[in-house]
Structure 1
Amino acid sequence: MSALIEFDHVCKYYQMGDTLVKAADHISMQINKGEFVAIVGQSGSGKSTCMNIIGCLDVPTAGTYKLNGRDVGRMSRDELAEIRNELLGFIFQQYNLLPKLSLIENVGVPLVYAGVPRGERRRRAAAALERVGLGDKLRNKPNQLSGGQQQRVSIARALAGRPAVILADEPTGALDSHTGREVLGMLQELHRQGNTVVLITHDNSIAVQAQRIIRLEDGHVVYDGDAHAPEAVVQPNYAPKAEQEGSAS
């Protein structure tokens, strides 16, 4: 079976003054359809760089990234936008909802860019909101919801596009622990229903909720395997570094 996501010696380098930053340095990995994978690492590990490449928001400096068999590195900007709409559903830490739009309109926004007719947009948005337990709030505005409910809308928005991959970037980062567990439970349920879920996080306790962990350190993969294996959480050569901001994160 061919991989849905395939990195073959993917590199992403940035020039910062006189310093060459290797945000991703010959990363190779495969994620198959139906997996629930957490990509985990501290700031500066390369996880955000991997997320941007997986999400077709950036392209590798070197190496090859294939999404559903298509070589992303050879695509134009328009082709990247098209494949994002076709194959990817995004869940962000800060929800990114439009405050003046109702929930059904927010969920339908990506479908507008995908060219889905208005009637079909509303049907799919309503079905997605029903799926996350918000079918009775279609006309509510985001400011009428709790943080956990807003993240549910974000999940519904990702689902409405019927993506091949749900890409969740620190989806519990803005939530309290109880609500965060609810959102993780929802991602696990989506996985049980056959969805491919890629979770980006710095938090080990969140990463172990996935099936499989890919741990990054300094732009390298230092672990790729069962999320529940003892070595998944603490690597002999892995020591969490101080949090640092920058493009290499």
Structure 2
Amino acid sequence: MSALIEFDSVCKYYQMGDTLVKAADHVSFQINKGEFVAIVGQSGSGKSTCMNIIGCLDVPTEGAYLLDGRDVGRMTRRELANIRNEKLGFIFQQYNLLPKLSLLENVEVPLVYAGIPAAQRHAKAKATLERVGLGTKLKNKPNQLSGGQQQRVSIARALARDPAVILADEPTGALDSHTSREVLGMLQDLHKQGNTVVLITHDNSIAVQAERIIRLKDGCVVYDGDAHAPEAVVQPTLTFTKQEAAT
């Protein structure tokens, strides 16, 4: 099976004064169609850098990133924008809904950019909102909804173009625990329906809802495997030299 997402020794370096920051340091992994994968790590681990590269918002300094067989690192800005709209559905922590537009109009936004005719656009947006349980609120504005409902609109928008990859960036970060479980349940349902879901999180309890975990630390992959294996969530024991232990 050919990989839908392939990182081959991906590096992302930034120069900060005299210091070279290795945000991603020879990161390699593959994600196949239909997988539900969590990329997890604390602040500074490199997970946001990897998310930006997966989402075609950035390109590697070195190495190669292939999305559905296409080398993203060789694309122009226009090509990157096109592949984002064509292949990727984004779910954000803060929803990023347009406050003056109705729910239907918010979900139509990626379809407008794709040049889909109005009648087809309306029908697709309506069907997608019905799919996430908001079919009776098509004309509502985002400020008339709860946080969980707004995130459902965000999920509907992500699904509107039937993307190859659903990329969820801390999708429960602004939600209470009950609503977080609902949103995670929706992502699991989407996976069961055959969608490829990549979840970015710092939270182990969220990451284990996926099938597979890719754990990052200091820009490197330190674990890639079953999300339910003990080593997927247990942090490595810190070891000290005798001199360090004595201080």
TM-score w.r.t. structure 1 length? 0.95
Cα distance, 1:116–1:51 mapped onto 2, change above 3 Å: same
Q: Which residue does 2:242 correspond to in 1?
A: none
Q: Is it true that 1:129 corresponds to 2:133 in the alignment?
A: no
Q: Match of 1:83?
A: 83
Mapped contact 1:214–1:224 kept (Cα < 8 A): yes
If asked which structure has higher relative contact order (CA below 8 Å, sep 6+), I would say 1
Aligned-residue Cα RMSD (Å) equals 1.0
In structure 2, C-alpha distance between the alignment counterparts of 1:105 and 1:65, rounded to whole Å: 33
Q: CA deviation at 1:237?
A: 5.5
- Which structure 2 residue ranges, 5 or more long, are not aligned? 240-247
Report the 3-state secondary structure (helix = DSSP H, G, I; strand = E; otherwise coil) of the residue aligned with 2:52.
helix
Q: What's the CA shift for 1:235?
A: 3.4
Aligned match of 1:54? 54
Alignment partners' CA distance in 2, 1:60 and 1:38: 20
Tell whether the 8 Å contact from 1:11 to 1:26 is kept in structure 2 after alignment: yes
Where does residue 26 of structure 2 map in the other structure? 26
* Aligned residue runs from structure 1 range 91-240, under 5 A: 91-236=91-236
Residue of structure 2 equivalent to 1:247: none
Percent same amino acid among aligned pairs?
A: 85
Would the aligned equivalents of 1:34 and 1:194 in 2 still touch at CA under 8 Å?
yes
Higher-Rg member (1/2): 2
Q: Distance in 2 between matches of 1:177 and 1:16?
A: 38
User: What SS does the corresponding residue of 1:37 show, helix, strand or coil?
Assistant: strand
Unaligned runs of 5+ in 1: 240-249
Query: 1:217·1:238 contact (CA, 8 Å) conserved in 2?
Result: no
Q: Match of 1:45, SS? A: coil
Structure-2-length-normalised TM-score: 0.95
CA deviations on 1:94-146 (whole Å, 9 max, x unpaired) are: 00000000000000001111111111111111011000000000000000000
Whole-Å separation in 2 of the counterparts to 1:195 and 1:123: 21
The letter for the 2-side match of 1:233 is V
Structure 1 CA distance, aligned partners of 2:153 and 2:140? 11
Matches within 5 A, 1:32-47: 32-47=32-47
Following the alignment from structure 2 to structure 1, what is the Cα–Cα distance between the partners of residues 59 and 236? 31
